[in-house]
């Protein structure tokens, strides 16, 4: 019961944050809503027993990636988004469409997987076992992603560096 309540509360926060992301016109508000979504998602992970994933979600997503977003919003001083007719049309047509689609998907899922359920703490994700998987069974993908990250770092530095100025001190985290 407690599990269901917690799920519903944080699920509601998630949905609210996601919708707020869409509604808000200023990117910083959208970014903060997204942080809220990620935080409550971390709680959902905890409810699923994946505490390591939950903490990493907070550290990486909320603590690093979103900081980067906020940083860029601040740096570029991104203003309020202007509305045009097209976007109103999109809202009028798209939002009901999305709601309908979501309802349809939800209905299908409820129809076809009603029996299985997850209980609180059903499967803890101890860091040791995760490490065993990550550094043993999934070693190659792990190394590949590490190279991907390295490439991304270099790409970001090259892209963001001003070609003409010599003293570029800004870093992408």
- Cα distance from N-terminal residue to C-terminal residue, the chain: 41
For residues 2 and 40, what is the distance between their CA atoms, to the nearest angstrom? 16
- Between the alpha carbon of residue 15 and those of residues 40, 115, 153, the distances in Å are 10, 24, 32
Q: What residues from 60 to 89 belong to the interface with another protein (CB under 8 A)?
A: 60-76, 78, 81-82, 84, 87
Q: Is 162 in the site for another protein (CB under 8 A)?
A: yes
Among 9, 96, 143, 145, binds another protein (CB under 8 A): 145
Binding residues for another protein, total number by CB under 8 A: 110
Site string for another protein, 122-141 (x = CB under 8 A): xx-xxxxxx--xx--xx--x
Taken as a whole, the chain contains a residue count of 173
Site string for another protein, 12-41 (x = CB under 8 A): --xx--xx-xx----xx-xxx-xx-xx--x
Q: Is 165 in the site for another protein (CB under 8 A)?
A: no
Among 110, 140, 164, 165, binds another protein (CB under 8 A): 110
- Between the alpha carbon of residue 138 and those of residues 49, 50, 133, the distances in Å are 21, 18, 6
């Amino acid at each position: 019961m407690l599990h269901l309540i917690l799920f519903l509360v944080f699920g509601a926060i998630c949905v609210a944050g996601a919708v707020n992301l869409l509604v808000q016109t200023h990117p910083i508000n959208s970014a903060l809503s997204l942080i809220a979504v990620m935080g409550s998602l971390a709680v959902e992970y905890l409810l699923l027993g994946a505490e390591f994933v939950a903490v990493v979600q907070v550290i990486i997503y909320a603590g690093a990636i979103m900081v980067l977003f906020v940083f860029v919003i601040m740096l570029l001083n991104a203003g309020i988004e202007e509305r045009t007719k097209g976007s109103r049309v999109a809202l009028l047509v798209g939002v009901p469409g999305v709601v309908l689609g979501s309802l349809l998907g939800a209905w299908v899922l409820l129809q076809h997987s009603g029996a299985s359920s997850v209980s609180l703490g059903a499967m803890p994700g101890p860091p040791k076992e995760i490490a065993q998987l990550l550094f043993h069974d999934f070693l190659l993908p792990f190394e590949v992603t590490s190279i991907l990250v390295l490439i991304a770092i270099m790409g970001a530095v090259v892209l963001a560096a001003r070609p003409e100025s010599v003293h570029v001190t800004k870093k992408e985290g």
